[in-house]
Structure 1
Amino acid sequence: MTSLDYEFLRKFLKERSGLDLSSDKQYLVESRLIPLARRAGFPGIAELVQKLRSGSDALTSEVVEAMTTNETFFFRDKVPFDHLRETVLPALIRARGSRRSLRIWSAASSTGQEPYSIAMCLKEFAPALTGWRVEIVATDLSQGVLEKSRAGIFSQFEVQRGLPIQMLVKHFTQVGELWQLNADIRAMVQHRQLNLLQDFSHLGLFDVIFCRNVLIYFDQATKAGVFDRLARALEPDGVLTLGAAESVVGISDAFRPYPERRGLYRPNADRTAQAGAAAVMPHALKVVASGAR
């Protein structure tokens, strides 16, 4: 792969997925795209790049998916799910008692282990949530991983990674050498394809957003933009959960840390108020000007 081809791919991937590759990751691109090029009938990456330059939408999706990391497992890192059970859900159940509804978004859901882990946590609160409308929305850039997630079928290796044996027995059915999540858990999760670089206001407001282990691949400016949009997608008392290696500190003032709960954040009320005032100001000026006439 030539340096020009690599620079094209770096820019191409950043624009379409947010992936910010450093100048020394050429080996990674080659290892993931050479097999794709051969499957597509190209002798090498140079021909693949030429096709991308011509604007092939189908190939664009395949290249982005090939370069996107989909590493995940059930109850990954454990602590965020302990926070969900012990702190976040009890507080939200008290706060949402009058409206009796709860919305949770898994914003980089991959093959489904995260949103289904959330669903299993919510099952533990079934008595308190009787009669509530509970939604879990799972989104990902890759249509392929969403299809796998919808099926809810996992290998022995996948269910052994992070899933307590009692939950495997309770929520899964063995199908040959595979394991399928029971229908009641699968029905709790809605799947939608989504690019976090684009507007996602159509999803509405959420009480909890899990956006873990995806922003680490973005540059600072891209992260800041995503944080701003995530803040607008959260209820004022909602909670954002980031990955263990991620933080808003030094990147965005759209969030403030959740007290004594590492990795959890709340929308910054002062920032929200300022944004609201800024939004109202042009309208107010317009009314004054109209009255002056």
Structure 2
Amino acid sequence: MNPAEYDYLRQFLKSRSGLVLSNEKQYLIESRLLPVARKAGLQSIAALVAKLKEPRETALAESVVEAMTTNESFFYRDKTPFEHFTQMMMPELLKSRASSKKIRIWCAAASTGQEPYTLAMCLKEMERQLVGWRIEILGTDISNEVLDRAKAGTYTQFEVQRGLPIQLLLKYFTQQGESWTIAPELRAMVQWRKFNLLDSFASFGQFDIVFCRNVLIYFDQATKVDILGRISKIMAPDGYLVLGAAETVVGLTDAFKPAPDRRGLYVPAAAIPQAAPRFSALAGAATRV
């Protein structure tokens, strides 16, 4: 792969998915895209680049983007966001949404589904408090392949051992040989949709909670600013944004502010003056589920 071909692929991936690759990632492109090229009957990265330049090669373009997307996920990943969800976000929303009895949650870049299904398990554990409520969970990802896996809800022994407590595994999964499949009632709690974060959010409506974890790290600053700005426009005024441990809104947008004493949790900036007392009151609280 020559420099011109590498530069083309970098620009192609950035424009299609927002993924930013440094000058030292040639090996990554070659290792991931050579199998894509050969599956398409092409013998080299050069041939793949030439094919991608043909305007009608949409299927090949999608395969290239999917091959380069990082799909790392596991149940209860980092633990803290799910403690925030059960101990603070849901109790607060159950109060503020008491009249509508409706809460909408979006998991962006949901990969193979562990994050949305973790939220579904959290909600199932509090189902006595949710009688009569409508809770919507939307999981989106740019990759058809991982969405198909998420919809199936079937995971390997290794995948269910990563972060999932054994009691929840036995309670909500059925073993099938060396695989485990999540219960149908939990699969029914999550809706799935293919979606590119570079596209418009206009059709989504308003969300009370947005999980957008461990995906902004792959974008440049301008793309992060754009995505966060558009998330703020579909967020309820008293909603919650959850980012990954290595991500922040600081220095990127004034639309969100960190929630006091809640690592990785952000709220619309306008909510801070009215909401400050509730954060301090809840700092040591725990909700039984």
The TM-score normalised by the length of structure 1 is: 0.91
Tell me the percent identity.
58
Match of 1:60 in 2: 61
Match of 1:287 in 2: none
* Number of aligned positions between the proteins: 271
Deviations 1:52-72 (A, max 9, x none): 011210000000000000011
Deviant stretches of 4+, over 2 Å: none
After TM superposition, give the deviation of residue 269 of structure 1 in Å. 1.8
Match of 2:211 in 1: 210
Q: Structure 1: which amino acid aligns with 2:253?
A: S
Match of 2:286 in 1: none
After TM superposition, give the deviation of residue 39 of structure 1 in Å. 1.5
Match of 1:51 in 2: 51
Cα distance in 2 for residues equivalent to 1:234 and 1:140: 19
2:129 partner SS: coil
Cα distance in 2 for residues equivalent to 1:64 and 1:103: 29
1:54 partner SS: coil
Matched, 1:269 2:282: no
After TM superposition, give the deviation of residue 267 of structure 1 in Å. 1.4
Cα distance in 2 for residues equivalent to 1:166 and 1:234: 34
Q: Structure 1: which amino acid aligns with 2:114?
A: Q
Structure-to-structure mapping, 1:124-203, within 5 angstroms: 124-203=125-204
Q: Structure 1: which amino acid aligns with 2:43?
A: P
Query: Which protein, 1 or 2, shows the higher relative CO under an 8 Å CA cutoff with sep ≥ 6?
Result: 2
Match of 1:23 in 2: 23
After TM superposition, give the deviation of residue 266 of structure 1 in Å. 0.8
Matched, 1:108 2:109: yes
Match of 1:290 in 2: none
2:128 partner SS: coil
After TM superposition, give the deviation of residue 253 of structure 1 in Å. 1.2
Deviations 1:153-197 (A, max 9, x none): 111111001100000011001112211000110000000010001
The TM-score normalised by the length of structure 2 is: 0.92
Asked which structure has the greater CA Rg, the reply is: 1
| Structure 2 unpaired stretches of 5+ | 272-289
| Structure 1 unpaired stretches of 5+ | 271-293
After TM superposition, give the deviation of residue 34 of structure 1 in Å. 1.0
Match of 1:251 in 2: 252
Cα distance in 1 for residues equivalent to 2:63 and 2:243: 27
Match of 2:220 in 1: 219
After TM superposition, give the deviation of residue 125 of structure 1 in Å. 1.5
